[in-house]
Amino acid sequence: MKDFIFDVGTKILFGKDQLKNLPKEIKKYGDRVLLVYGGGSIKKIGLYNKVVELLNENDIFFKELAGVEPNPRVESAAEGVKIARENNLNFVLAVGGGSTIDCSKLISAAFYEDCYPWDIVTRKVKPKKGLPIGTILTLAATGSEMDRGSVITNQKTKQKLGWAANFTLPKFSILNPEFTYSVPKKHTAAGTADIMSHTMENYFTLNDGAYLVDRFSEGLLKTCIKYGKIAYEKPDDYEARANLMWANTWAINGLLDSGKDTEWSVHAMEHELSAHNDLTHGWGLAILTPSWLRYCLSNDTVDKICEFGQNVFGLEIGEDKFKTAEEAIKLLSEFFKSLDIPQSLKEVGFKEEDLPVMAEACIKNHKGNIKGFVELDEAAVLEIYKMSYK
Ligand code: NZQ
Ligand code: ZN
């Protein structure tokens, strides 16, 4: 096991009756709030009214940034910074899914900087402080409510890039599984695939002796397989939504890579898909992951993939380990299919000529080969895109 520091200072308020604590939590950090949300789902489920009521009742001044897009655009963050500066705001409250939270993180970071927010995403500017952030999560997927990361899209440059800063870690996050009852089937499936992908990006490494965290990972994967399906079929199943929500938070908050050397291969490849075609992130991950595992399968990796098959899907490791590994990958694929996630890049509108363009951009944006489970260069990424295209 490698050395690590685990320090995640986000306070989690989990459950049905936690929203009432919102004013108290905000007032620890500020009293002039930028309320950030997406395309209106929080209004449909009545959450917007509840939040506004609580802010008003507690004399918390607020202004709004509405309409943050899935795959949030840099322009929305720029607009948020403008509103926050013009109104002298001192706290950012994100109410929504990962896109809303990620956009809020960029607003927080750009608030004190004399630059266009994209300069922060590309690391031209390295901010040292930002506005404090709190979140009310409405979709279990990205784990952004308890991590420092943010992923932003620039449609002009056709780039979707991740960045992070220490101060972007939310101060608190309110997680009420009931707020996710209304998540459409498509995003329930995509969110489940995203949680699983975060877990697998951490899980598939070689010889690091991190036995304990790999067992945590397997527990999260089994949770997603069990409850992803239930939530997909019965959206208001509290137990399913609650387990998915909590799994989501733990998949990317630093626990599952503690003591491990990880480099996220599938996410690097997927971000090119979303940048190119505005594809839903979790769908892209579910399409790429089985091909990526098949590409990685070798004498070096077969044992790890068999371990996955055995501990996650209950497979027995047969005499031919390669067969067991292939069976495990097939079961993963079938699980995604059972959530009606498309199975190929062709199905979601990509053309064959897109693949080399995206492979080149992937390695360029990654600033070199991806040194994950198996090192991937441009040719390898192209091969995985091709395997996922059929
Ligand atoms: O915009 P609204 O109207 O809110 O609708 C959203 C959106 O259309 C809807 N939705 C959310 N909660 C809902 C709901 N609809 C009904 N009821 C609810 N309770 O769902 C749609 C998707 O929302 P979005 O926030 O885009 O989804 P998600 O949470 O999956 O976030 C995806 C973004 O996060 C990035 C992805 O790349 C993508 O841009 N990621 C962020 C990460 C991070 N910060 O650590 C890591 C991830 O790997 C990922 O890359
Ligand atoms: Zn993800």
Ligand 1, atom 3, lies closest to the CA of: 39
Q: Is 97 in the pocket of ligand 1 (CB under 6 A)?
A: yes
Give strand pairing partners of 12: 173
Q: Is 183 in the pocket of ligand 1 (CB under 6 A)?
A: yes
The two tokens of residue 12 are 């989690």
SS3 346: coil
SS3 115: coil
Pairing of strands 370-371, 375-376: antiparallel
CA dist 337 and 144 (Å) reads 26
Q: Is 191 in the pocket of ligand 1 (CB under 6 A)?
A: yes
Burial 178-197 (b: 16+ CB within 10 A, else e): bbbbbbeeebbbbbbbbbbb
For residue 390, the model assigns a pLDDT of 87
For residue 211, the model assigns a pLDDT of 96
What is 198-231 written as a DSSP string? HHHHHH--SS---HHHHHHHHHHHHHHHHHHHHH
Q: Does the predicted TM-score (pTM) go above 0.95? A: yes
Atom of ligand 1 at shortest distance to CA of 152?
39
Q: Are the CB atoms for 264 and 201 separated by under 8 Å?
A: yes
Tokens 């005499």 label which residue?
Answer: 319
Q: Any idea of the CA torsion for 386, 331, 279, 340, to the nearest 10 degrees?
A: 130
Q: Is 168 in the pocket of ligand 1 (CB under 6 A)?
A: no
Atom of ligand 1 at shortest distance to CA of 147?
45
Q: For residue 143, which ligand has an atom nearest its CA? A: 1
Q: Tell me the mean pLDDT per 10 residues along the chain, length 390.
A: 93 98 98 97 98 98 97 97 98 98 98 97 97 98 97 94 96 98 98 98 95 98 98 98 98 96 96 93 98 98 98 96 98 98 97 97 96 97 97
For residue 348, the model assigns a pLDDT of 97
What is 293-333 written as a DSSP string? HHHH-STTTHHHHHHHHHHHH-----S-HHHHHHHHHHHHH
Give strand pairing partners of 164: 149
What's the 23 CA to ligand 1 centre distance in angstroms?
24
